[in-house]
Amino acid sequence: MTTNTHTPTGHWINGEVAPAGSVQTITVSNPATGEIVAEVPAGTAKDVDRAVAAARAAFPGWSATPPVERAAVLRRISAGLRERSEEIATAITAEMGSPLSMSRTAQVGFPIAVADSFATLAEDFEWTEEVGNSLIVREPIGVVGAITPWNFPLQQIVSKLAPALIAGDTVVFKPSEVAPLTARILAEVTTEAGLPAGVFNVVYGTGDVVGEAISAHPDIDMISFTGSTRAGRRISAVAAETVKRVALELGGKGALVILDDADLPRAVETGVMMTFANGGQVCGAWPRMLVPASRQDEVVRLAVAAAAQYPVGDPRDETTRIGPMAYEAHRRKVNSYIERGIADGAKLVFGGPGRPDGLEQGAYVRPTIFAEVDPNSTVAQEEIFGPVLTIIGYADEDEAVEIANGTMYGLTAGVFGEPGHALAVARRLRAGQVDVNGGHWNPYAPFGGYKQSGNGREFGRAGLEEFLETKSIQR
């Protein structure tokens, strides 16, 4: 086995490495090569018990720490992540195959921006307010169980840890077993930043063992989960036994609605980017491109030309824009969807099943574009989580809105068109975040889904309030 400096030798409990309660381990493989790069402990319910006890013991002191001091710790955490940004980027590329260029920018840059935003938000947040004869007090919820996926390993946990710390909560965190390496780096950074022992704890392991134990634990007050809709349903069911709060950021099948008055080349280029970024392994992607039926041929030509600008290859290569899928089983899943699209009659205009030429080893797929897609077909309805774009024609604006809203998901969407027109259509879409003409990401704006894309919100004031209880004191 080849190991690296990111290999955890135990869990992180009460501010230090804690020996695992089991000798069993989970291997972490580089999806580009199949090489084993690390091992992490296969955690148990007893490991979760130890982490929860540490978090519960740390809660009184941390919750009583003034918000301005909590914010100062968070700023030091942000600074620590900046200092170790190259190490983090290298670890993410090794564990889940994100191209190194993206690991350095989005995979590291986004969580730093999120941490900074919550530290700033704490400065002006109204922890108390007067309403008539009542004093409304916002207080920490308690111990938070955080469970995250593998596609943005650092971003997903910082999006939960930052507001939890500002709120005064303590955290027990289970990273994905596919991409767990940055969790140790983050734990070390939090300790170096002066976060008290027990406020942030990491237990490695699988969802069916550690995730279940966290979800069911009677001393955990809230679950914040990002992942698949299927897993979110299970977590909700298990957590219901102890009536804890559950915040879910789940799957998506975002639509990009391109209106007839849009800047077509810019819209298509943006749509391809939003589908292929991170190999399509983004819950907020736009894998459905809805276009006026009369202009579908033109859109196809533009999309194929844009797709050619996304070379697939070794994620360590600075020119690579699409690396491997995060693991081999996921590669097979994405490939099966491409085969299903062909079988169901979608018109293949770019890519197709199988590995790209010259990449016979590794979890690689061919970026793929389908045209003339039935909006009710499998590839247009189910979350593929890979670089697969489906182009769907519509007859008029009402049909475009109907198609865009016509899945069980409602996480993100995009609209391109004349600004006023595009805004009017954006208001009709049943999604938690809609970008108009490529509007930029804003870490102060709430993010979350409608329908089976989840409940609750991340980022901004709404994201902080998820981690707070509200008390009314009448006088």
394-406 pLDDT tens trace: 999 999 999 999 9
**Are 462 and 419 within one domain?**
no
Region 30-51 average pLDDT? 96
Residue 4 within any structural domain of the chain? no
pLDDT, position 6: 57
Residue 215 within any structural domain of the chain? yes
Residue 18 in contact with residue 12, Cβ under 8 Å?
yes
**Are 246 and 266 within one domain?**
no
Distances from the Cα of 58 to the Cα of 11, 127, 210, angstroms = 17, 21, 21
**Are 17 and 161 within one domain?**
yes
pLDDT, position 7: 66
Residue 62 within any structural domain of the chain? yes
| Separation of alpha carbons 331 and 364, rounded Å | 7
Residue 285 within any structural domain of the chain? yes
| Separation of alpha carbons 341 and 333, rounded Å | 13
For residue 190, the domain's CATH number is 3.40.605.10
Judged by DSSP in three states, 454 sits in strand
Checking if the pLDDT of 311 tops 50, the result is yes
Checking if the pLDDT of 456 tops 80, the result is yes
Judged by DSSP in three states, 471 sits in strand
pLDDT, position 22: 85
**Are 288 and 402 within one domain?**
yes
pLDDT, position 3: 41
Checking if the pLDDT of 267 tops 60, the result is yes
Q: In 166-244, at which residue ranges do the beta strands (DSSP E only) sit?
A: 170-174, 200-202, 222-226
**Are 277 and 220 within one domain?**
no
| Separation of alpha carbons 339 and 322, rounded Å | 20
Residue 23 within any structural domain of the chain? yes
Number of independent structural domains in the chain? 2
Q: In 388-464, at which residue ranges do the beta strands (DSSP E only) sit?
A: 388-394, 412-416, 433-436, 454-455
**Are 223 and 316 within one domain?**
no
Residue 316 within any structural domain of the chain? yes
**Are 155 and 122 within one domain?**
yes
pLDDT tens, residue by residue, 133-165: 999 999 999 999 999 999 999 999 999 999 999
Region 227-244 average pLDDT? 97
Region 242-256 average pLDDT? 97
**Are 270 and 147 within one domain?**
no
**Are 198 and 88 within one domain?**
yes
Residue with tokens 């930029």: 440
Residue 2 within any structural domain of the chain? no
For residue 372, the domain's CATH number is 3.40.309.10
Q: Which two tokens stand for residue 350?
A: 């770019």
**Which is the catalytic residue, given 126, 129, 241, 283?**
283
**Are 365 and 292 within one domain?**
yes
pLDDT tens, residue by residue, 91-131: 999 999 999 999 999 999 999 999 999 999 999 999 999 99
Checking if the pLDDT of 2 tops 80, the result is no
Confidence of residue 21 (pLDDT cuts 50, 70, 90): confident
283 is catalytic: yes
Residue 134 within any structural domain of the chain? yes
pLDDT, position 9: 75
**Are 118 and 150 within one domain?**
yes
Confidence of residue 459 (pLDDT cuts 50, 70, 90): very high
Region 446-465 average pLDDT? 97
**Are 167 and 263 within one domain?**
no
Report strand pairing: 25-29 vs 36-41: antiparallel
**Which is the catalytic residue, given 177, 249, 383, 466?**
249
Q: Which two tokens stand for residue 414?
A: 């995009």
Domain that holds residue 44: 11-250+452-474
Checking if the pLDDT of 449 tops 70, the result is yes
